[in-house]
Amino acid sequence: MKTILENISKLKLFVYILFSMLYSLQGLLTSFLIQIAGEIDVNNTQMVLTFGLGGVLLFIFVYACMYINNILVRAIIEDFNVLISKKAIENFYQKRLNYTSEELNSFLTQDIPMFWQEYLVPLIVYPIYVLSILASVSYLLIQNIQVGLLFTIGGFLMIIPQFIFNKMLQKRGEELSTARVNSMTSITDFTKGIDTIRSNQASKQFSSHVLDEIKNTEKKQYRYFTSHNLVMFWTGPLKGIGLVVPLMIGLFFIKSTSITLTTLLAMMTASMNLISPLQQLLEGTSSLQSAKFIRDKMVFILKMRNNDDEEIEIKTSKEKLRIYGRNLSKSFEAKLIFERLFLDIPFGKKILLTGASGSGKSTLFKILSGEDTEFSGNLYFENEKGTCYEPSYNKVSLIHQKPYIFNGSLRDNLTLFQEISDSNLRDVLQKVNLLEEMGNNLETQLNGQNLSGGQMMKLEIARCLLRLKPILLVDEVTASLDDMNAQEIRALIYSQNCTIIEIAHKFTEDNYDDIIRIEDYKSSVPNH
């Protein structure tokens, strides 16, 4: 809880608690009005009108406090949701958050809304419930200690069913939550894996499995509803006892004390106003307990550090870098990927990287780009002045074999929401011969289905040229292209003033300055 509160605006929280104190009086407002009404001279028109106007103004004031409270709660939740989303996205990008893309999507779209509904809101509104209860009890005891105590006991009597069945409700709630997750998972698997299901002729069985999960969710929903309804049923008789018995005893007190019938009715109303905040308090406590798992996920991410100082280069780099690698070795578990790999690549060279599928070519790319740091040996980049850099995307560009096309405009697909001028975008599109094909319109909407393979690759190259670094990694970019498109794409790539390392199965050796064959580094003897 401490970590959660540390990430909530102290000012907003203070103002919220202040208005909560005022709003907590709303439960007593009717009681005050009833008590005051008993003292009014009905023959005095001015007094009646003043009472009516004052009553309306009191209601306006109290509900204005409620309005401000609700806005503050939503503002606090908004700030928190943005903060936790930002931390999750940044740590996912920086590979400190060990989530798959599906898990990140689930966290952002399901876990966060569930957290503020089941944990953050109950936590924040706690003060209102507590203050409302204290205000009602104080009012009752001030009016008459004996009768006030009876009405207080009567009010608390009404929450006995909630208290008795609390563990059962909590258990049923947890069962429902688990069933919902399982149901959602099965539905997601069904929709995303439908091609696999069809090809394996398992549609009927898998559909039956999904339906079973849905049925189980509905069953758990029914069990939770009936349990909650049972609580409401027992509340009725106890409410009758808790209100009528103190009222009956209070009627006897009228004869022997200064208490009036009006005051007695006002006290009964105050007692009735006890039940709602008491129930909310119990339900909030139960919700906080059942949301422990999701709370722990939030706390874990909140405690993660961010690289706020990390600079992202958008402009192209004209720095000339030499690549040095000594005794580079990489293993995955017990499997040797490559061993004692030697690299000495001057700036501007074109290098071909070959090897069988799974031989380690993509792994070497990950090492060169800084994505994979779990290797032995030395690897660094050195400029003409002798300054050395560790491998990272600050010095390395990568053209992917299968570029991802985002749903959105051509401009957004190029900028990726970075600040790049339209003139630069048009220049680079002209260089890759894509501007006219896109109708000279940066607002052209793309979805991954309205581009050919060659156009996708041109778009990927355009992205790269906008952020070109001294070292360019090219991953099988012509594998799925026809000869004409392949030649055009290669010509575009080779024309760049940078070091090029290309993975390719179809190639002409004369196009390259050197060839690195990964299979040469499966033994303990280096080639160089």
**Which among 501, 519, 522, 515 is positioned nearest to 340, based on CA atoms?**
522
Checking if the pLDDT of 259 tops 50, the result is yes
**Angular region, 439: left φ>0, alpha ψ -120 to 50, beta rest:** left
99 lies in the same domain as 129? yes
Residue bearing the bigger pLDDT, 366 or 312: 366
At 311 the pLDDT is: 45
Residue 109, classed as helix, strand or coil, is: helix
Report the candidate in 317, 312, 307 with the shortest Cα–Cα distance to residue 418: 312
307 lies in some domain: no
Does 179 score more than 60 pLDDT? yes
* 141 and 209 both lie in a single domain: yes
What was the pLDDT predicted at 378?
93
Q: Which residue has the tokens 């394996």?
A: 200
- If you average pLDDT over residues 251-262, what whole number do you get? 81
Asked if residue 337 and residue 283 are part of one domain, the reply reads no
- Regarding whether 156 and 293 lie in a shared domain, the answer is yes
Is 432 a member of any domain? yes
- As a whole number, mean pLDDT of residues 155-177 equals 78
Whether residues 282 and 420 fall in one domain: no
Query: What is the extent of the structural domain holding 340?
Result: 322-521
Mean pLDDT of all residues in 131-137: 85
Top mean-pLDDT range of 152-166, 252-266, 361-375: 361-375
Burial class (CB in 10 A: 0-12, 13-18, 19+), 466: buried
- Spatial separation of the C-alpha atoms in residues 434 and 124, rounded to whole Å: 54
* Percentage, residues of the chain above pLDDT 70: 94
Total domain count, the chain: 2
Has residue 129 got a pLDDT over 60?
yes
DSSP string, 125-140: HHHHHHHHHHHHHHHH
330 and 254 in a common domain: no
Instruction: Answer yes or no: is 174 within a domain.
Output: yes
pLDDT tens across 371-386, in order? 888 899 999 999 999 9
Residue 316 within any structural domain of the chain:
no
Write down the pLDDT at residue 381.
Answer: 95
Number of Cβ within 10 Å of residue 52's Cβ equals: 12
Rounded to whole angstroms, how far apart are CA atoms 298 and 3?
9
- CATH code of the domain in which 386 resides: 3.40.50.300
389 is a domain residue? yes
The answer to whether the CB of 265 falls within 8 A of the CB of 290 is no
For range 404-413, the mean pLDDT: 89
> Do the beta carbons of residue 209 and residue 246 sit within 8 Å?
no
Q: Does residue 499 sit in helix, strand or coil? A: strand
Task: Compute how many other C-beta atoms are within 10 angstroms of the C-beta atom of residue 199.
Answer: 9
Segment 81-87 shows an average pLDDT of 87
Least confident of 310-324, 428-442, 485-499: 310-324
At 39-59, the pLDDT tens digits run: 888 888 888 899 889 889 988
Report the range out of 196-200, 309-313, 337-341 with the highest average pLDDT. Answer: 337-341
Residue at 310 is within a domain: no
In angstroms, the CA 132 to CA 273 distance is: 9
CA-closest candidate to residue 371, choices 389, 396, 349: 396
- Assigned domain for 119 exists: yes
Instruction: Determine the angle formed by the axes of helices 121-143 and 261-290, rounding to 10 degrees.
Output: 160
- 292 and 354 together in one domain: no
Share of the chain above pLDDT 90, in %: 18
Q: Are residues 96 and 243 in the same domain?
A: yes
The answer, yes or no, to whether residue 93 has pLDDT greater than 80, is no
Of the candidates 270, 302, 334, which is a domain's last residue?
302
Q: pLDDT by residue (tens digit) across 101-116?
A: 777 888 888 888 888 7
Close Cβ partners of 74 (under 8 Å, ≥ 6 residues apart): none
Tell me, yes or no, whether 355 and 431 share the same domain.
Answer: yes
Taking residues 58-85, what's their average pLDDT?
86
Give the single-character DSSP code of 509. G
Judge if 387 and 285 occupy the same domain: no
pLDDT at 368: 93
Segment of 258-262, 291-295, 327-331 carrying the highest mean pLDDT = 327-331
Please give the mean pLDDT across all residues of the chain. 83
Per-residue pLDDT averaged across 334-349, rounded?
Answer: 89
pLDDT at 305: 67
Residue 526 is assigned to a structural domain of this protein: no
Average pLDDT over residues 439-446: 92
Q: Is the pLDDT of residue 527 over 50?
A: no
Q: Among candidates 338, 415, 375, 391, which has minimal Cα distance to 501?
A: 391
Average of pLDDT values for 321-338? Answer: 88
Question: 320-346: buried (b, 16+ CB within 10 Å) or exposed (e) per residue?
Answer: bbbbebeebebeeeeeebbbbbbbebe
Same domain, 354 and 400: yes
Q: Say whether both 125 and 7 belong to one domain.
A: yes
Pairing of strands 396-399, 388-389: unpaired
Mean pLDDT calculated for residue range 491-508? 87
| Distance separating alpha carbons of residues 324 and 390, to the nearest angstrom | 10
> Would the pLDDT of 443 be above 90?
yes
Residue 121, φ and ψ in degrees, nearest 5: -60, -50
Query: In the predicted model, what is the mean pLDDT of residues 450-470?
Result: 88
pLDDT band of 314, cuts 50, 70, 90:
low
Classify 417 as helix, strand or coil: coil
Last residue of a domain, one of 302, 337, 359: 302
The number of helix segments (H) and strand segments (E) in the chain equals 19, 11
Look at residue 310 and tell me whether its pLDDT is greater than 50. Answer: no
Q: Which of 252, 269, 302 is the last residue in one of the domains?
A: 302
